[in-house]
Amino acid sequence: MYALKYDEDTCLKCRTQDCLAKCQYIDIDKESAKKEILKIAHGEDSSVLHDCVTCYACEEYCSFNNHPFYLIVEKQEELDIPPLPRPIIKRGIKTGIPFRGEPTIEKINGRALLMGAFADLMHLIQGKLFEGLPVISTDPRKMFHYFCQLMYLHYARNSVIKERLPKIIKTIAEHEVTEVVCFHDECYGTYTSYCPAIGMEVPFTPVHFFEYLYNRLLELKKEIKPVKLKVAYQRPCSSRLSPDKHRFVQAIFDLIGAQTVEREYVDENALCCGGTMEGQRREGSRKRTADLRRKNIEDMKNAGAEVCVFNCPACYNTLGQMLVQSGIRPVFMSDLCRVAIGEKPEGWR
């Protein structure tokens, strides 16, 4: 019913093969990259299907919006080449099952903030920045009714996404929302990138969380006092699905007086937190991920970062402790913005 909009001719005409040639985790030249992506498109086995760490970045690298990542994971599923061990896939798929009753549907008739599967992080959306903004998916027991399901790209289970997502969209739509501010990049990427790519209709307008924060900070500009912190940003995998919104990271930092440190692994060259990579079947995944994390944090440290800013709770959970040990404070973007307008987020000293 839902089919990926992928055009083989686009790949044939492509001269850069950036999708694979730029990959930070697979060492491949342009010529081989073209061969491999076409093999994948034809449903043939390819080393890429075995070595892909599912970092999403090729979706950003492809300048033709031809969805190489979605193609890779679709073929991983078709050819039964799962990136993760079977028990982790089973576990992950069961995680998204709602099991504590039906959600309470309140009619919004306007804009709302969607917490998705992070209803237990309500403390991150407090204060003036969120005044007057209704929130949906506030009950941790029922949050999987709002879970965008895109996580299953890491599991090469597009079929699960396609099966469950219409029901999720229907539940959100029942709130009669016009604009949906997505707390997490993953939800935003689902509704603005994945759904159009497979021809699934989205009956509301998604708004990126950082775009919302930026605009709200503009409204509160008079109250901003520069935070004067040297910051690094940990880019989540799903932000690769909306690279046009990545500019809001710097825009917010500029607005709140945070100084972005000069790093090697930044923007397009950002490193993955490794949350899903460390459990992958590919030989040496755990050790490679441990090295990757060390490299990432060393880079922040060498650049002089005092704070590492997150949007993704999974990245925060994965890197938080290691950052603290390295003397870098992990903080969510919304909390940093709150500090800039003179508020004191939970646990802030």
Going residue by residue from 32 to 71, which x/- string records binding to another protein, judged by CB under 8 A?
Answer: ----------------------------------------
Which residue lies nearer to another protein by CB, 144 or 194?
144
Q: Is the dihedral of CA 155, 159, 162, 164 positive or negative?
A: negative
Return phi, psi of residue 312, to 5°. Answer: -90, 120
Smallest distance, another protein to C-beta of residue 236, A: 17
Residue carrying structure tokens 């992070």: 118
Which residue lies nearer to another protein by CB, 117 or 180?
117
Residue 103 within binding range of another protein, rule CB under 8 A: no
Is residue 10 within 8 A of residue 66, CB to CB? The reply is yes
Q: Please list the helix, strand and coil fractions of the chain in percent, rounded to the nearest 5, in that order.
A: 50, 10, 40
Residue closest to 163 by CA, chosen among 79, 93, 105, 115: 93
Give one word for 107, left, alpha or beta, with left for phi > 0 and alpha for psi -120 to 50: beta
Site for another protein in 131-160 (CB under 8 A): none
Smallest distance, another protein to C-beta of residue 95, A: 4
Residue 268 within binding range of another protein, rule CB under 8 A: no
Question: How far is the C-alpha of 210 from the C-alpha of 248, rounded, in Å?
Answer: 6
Residue 84 within binding range of another protein, rule CB under 8 A: yes
Which residue lies nearer to another protein by CB, 174 or 278?
278
Of positions 13, 15, 27, 94, contacts another protein by CB under 8 A: 94
Residue 82 within binding range of another protein, rule CB under 8 A: yes
Instruction: Determine the 3-state secondary structure of 246 from DSSP.
Output: coil
Is residue 333 within 8 A of residue 260, CB to CB? The reply is no
Residue carrying structure tokens 């995680």: 95
Of positions 5, 42, 90, 247, contacts another protein by CB under 8 A: 90
Question: How far is the C-alpha of 145 from the C-alpha of 116, rounded, in Å?
Answer: 8
Of positions 13, 97, 346, 347, contacts another protein by CB under 8 A: 97
Number of residues in contact with another protein, rule: CB under 8 A? 25
Burial class (CB in 10 A: 0-12, 13-18, 19+), 139: middle
Residue 86 within binding range of another protein, rule CB under 8 A: yes
Of positions 95, 178, 215, 250, contacts another protein by CB under 8 A: 95
DSSP H helices in the chain: 8-13, 18-21, 30-41, 47-51, 57-61, 68-78, 86-95, 158-174, 185-189, 195-198, 209-219, 247-256, 285-302, 313-325, 333-340
Smallest distance, another protein to C-beta of residue 252, A: 30
Site for another protein in 272-331 (CB under 8 A): 275, 278-279, 281, 283-287, 290, 318, 321
Of positions 68, 92, 236, 330, contacts another protein by CB under 8 A: 92
Question: How far is the C-alpha of 197 from the C-alpha of 237, rounded, in Å?
Answer: 18
Select the span of 10-18, 47-55, 95-103, 213-221 touching another protein (CB under 8 A).
95-103
Smallest distance, another protein to C-beta of residue 325, A: 8
Q: Calculate the dihedral angle through the C-alpha atoms of 272, 247, 314, 129, rounding to the nearest 10 degrees.
A: 160
Which residue lies nearer to another protein by CB, 189 or 279?
279
Smallest distance, another protein to C-beta of residue 280, A: 8
Residue 101 within binding range of another protein, rule CB under 8 A: no
Structure tokens at 82: 């799962």
Smallest distance, another protein to C-beta of residue 91, A: 5
Smallest distance, another protein to C-beta of residue 291, A: 10
Which residues here bind another protein, judged by CB under 8 A? 82, 84-88, 90-92, 94-95, 97, 99, 275, 278-279, 281, 283-287, 290, 318, 321
